[in-house]
């Protein structure tokens, strides 16, 4: 079922478009980074600016490149996940193929989980490709050591799993378009409050308590952003100066393992709810 789902997805125009967009994105990123690597630092030629420029290390440029490109890459992957995730099961149901698959000697759980798994696998591979590309291109022009590469696949999985499980559940509850819109809204809210959470960590105790409570609630209810931050913090340079600067602001540039585990657990809960709904459906 998993391979069938994957085969079906790979034939869809939206997936081919996403793959093409990924390649175009990486091409443009390469072009931008290579241009930046060879560029002179603009200024009026004063001694102070010259000294400041001399202090910049390749890791600083790499940080800028990674931090500016990562949100775009994340948006592309999230959008793809939402579109293919919200249509995977409904299309099998609407076009009469689901009764056919379910009439074969296999359990509903198997059909549900393996069919649903295809969008996650595809998005994961594409995310690895795009973030791996960002890392490789940046490192080829500005040599640096990533902070925690091992954290990246785990964080990526927890990020995508939350979006995936939410959109699979929504697609079984509401119409496709509504499922997409709700999922986009949830990820946008999660991203917004995830960013606010990071800022609040820089200035502890200065944010209004209500905002802090809302932020905490959003992170608890839809922890997709935690995984994305884990990916980002995993590939940024582990340069000592950057780490010290971030530490000065109280930011550890890391996501606690517990938060990632929580996100994975949460996605399992959503997936189980989706299965509960799927099991009760008449076809």
Least distance to another protein from the beta carbon of 110, Å?
8
Cα dihedral 104→110→112→118 (10° resolution): -110
Closer to another protein by CB, 51 or 103: give it. 103
Closer to another protein by CB, 25 or 101: give it. 101
- Euclidean distance between CA atoms 239 and 261, whole angstroms: 27
Closer to another protein by CB, 5 or 194: give it. 5
3-state secondary structure 121-181: HHHHHHHHHHHHHHHHHHHHHCCCCECCCCHHHHHHHHHHHHHHHHHHHHHHHCCHHHHHH
Least distance to another protein from the beta carbon of 163, Å?
25
Closer to another protein by CB, 7 or 49: give it. 7
- Euclidean distance between CA atoms 221 and 225, whole angstroms: 11
Cα dihedral 202→229→161→122 (10° resolution): 160
Closer to another protein by CB, 57 or 97: give it. 97
Least distance to another protein from the beta carbon of 2, Å?
9
Which chain residues interact with another protein by CB under 8 A? 1, 3-4, 7-8, 11, 95-97, 99-107, 280, 282-283
Least distance to another protein from the beta carbon of 77, Å?
25
Least distance to another protein from the beta carbon of 145, Å?
43
């Amino acid at each position: 079922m998993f391979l069938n789902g994957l085969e079906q997805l790979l034939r869809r125009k939206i997936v081919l478009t996403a793959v093409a967009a990924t390649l175009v994105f990486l091409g443009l990123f390469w072009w931008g980074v290579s241009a930046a690597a060879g560029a002179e630092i603009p200024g009026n030629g004063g001694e102070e600016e010259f000294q400041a420029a001399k202090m910049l290390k390749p890791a600083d440029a790499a940080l800028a490149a990674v931090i500016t490109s990562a949100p775009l890459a994340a948006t592309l992957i999230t959008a793809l996940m939402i579109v293919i995730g919200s249509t995977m099961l409904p299309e099998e149901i609407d076009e009469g193929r689901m009764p056919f698959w379910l009439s074969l000697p296999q359990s509903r759980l198997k059909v549900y989980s393996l069919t649903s798994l295809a969008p996650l696998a595809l998005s994961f591979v594409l995310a690895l490709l795009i973030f791996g590309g960002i890392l490789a291109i940046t490192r080829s022009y500005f040599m640096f050591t990533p902070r925690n590469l091992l954290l990246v696949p785990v964080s990526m999985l927890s990020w995508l799993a939350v979006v995936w499980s939410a959109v699979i559940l929504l697609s079984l509850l509401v119409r496709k378009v509504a499922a997409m819109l709700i999922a986009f809204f949830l990820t946008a809210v999660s991203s917004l409050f995830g960013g606010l959470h990071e800022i609040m960590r820089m200035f502890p105790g200065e944010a209004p308590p209500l905002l802090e409570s809302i932020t905490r609630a959003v992170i608890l209810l839809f922890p997709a952003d935690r995984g994305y931050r884990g990916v980002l913090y995993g590939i940024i340079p582990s340069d000592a100066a950057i780490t010290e600067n971030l530490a000065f602001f109280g930011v550890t540039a890391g996501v606690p393992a517990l938060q990632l585990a929580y996100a994975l657990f949460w996605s399992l809960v959503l997936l189980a709810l989706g299965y509960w709904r799927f099991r009760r459906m008449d076809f």
